[in-house]
Amino acid sequence: MYKLYFSPGACSLAVQVVLRELGQPFQLFNKASVANYQQINAVGAVPALEVDGTLLTEGAAIMLYLLDKHANDLMPGDAMARQQAIQQLMFANATVHPAYSKLFFINNQLADGAVKQQLLQAAADHISKLWQLVENQLQSQPYLGGQYYSVADILLAVYAGWGQYFPVTIDIGPRAQAMIDKVRALPAYQAAVAAEQQAS
């Protein structure tokens, strides 16, 4: 059975959603409840997934491992379609995620004041531009990958909730918001959120 280490609302939520979509049994462990989590993952980050005594880290890598191991509809089999799905996953993980991380960094490192607020909004403006790219991609399809949601859509649905923690304006277009709402309405997503609340 898989062991998933998480923090509430973090990107580990997306890995839990994927595990549920794949129908795989797992145990949840809140990072905050582990006496010295850095002995498990030296970086101190979540998610971390224990597989038969081996620890996997980095969310995108974990999801690719799970999608390669278990039959699913989240990752296309065709080579070019698969490449595009991986590209979208990396856009979410390596472009959008760090953009949101900048908000957390500014908020934690700078004293409250006008300069901090200006930097937070500048970071938020960059995030809004990334959401516009998503909006453009959704002009003729409901999800980034087409007619069926993918791991990239799941990740973006998680990230979209992070803006609420900051006094900034992030613009998410109507098509992108519709995609987020549909992903968050998935039974696997709903169950994952509920499980985090129970395990916290």
pLDDT tens track for 117-135: 999 999 999 999 999 999 9
Question: Helix (H, G, I), strand (E, B), or coil: what is residue 54?
Answer: strand
178 exposure class (CB count in 10 Å sphere: 0-12, 13-18, 19+) = middle
pLDDT for res 145: 83
Extract the tokens encoding 107: 């908020």
- CA–CA separation, 66 and 149 (whole Å): 16
Binned at pLDDT 50, 70 and 90, residue 199 comes out as confident
| pLDDT at residue 200 tops 80 | no
Tokens of 124: 């938020």
Its sign, for the CA torsion 88, 91, 97, 99, is negative
Average pLDDT of the chain, as a whole number: 95
Rounded distance, CA 148 to CA 29, Å? 30
Question: What are the chain's domains?
Answer: 2-73+187-199 (3.40.30.10), 79-184 (1.20.1050.10)
Whether the model clears a pTM of 0.85, i.e. scores above it, the answer is: yes
pLDDT, tens only, 35-65: 999 999 999 999 999 999 899 999 999 999 9
Q: How far apart are CA 78 and CA 23, in angstroms?
A: 23
Within 13 A of 107's CA, how many CA atoms are on the CB side?
16
pLDDT value for 57: 96
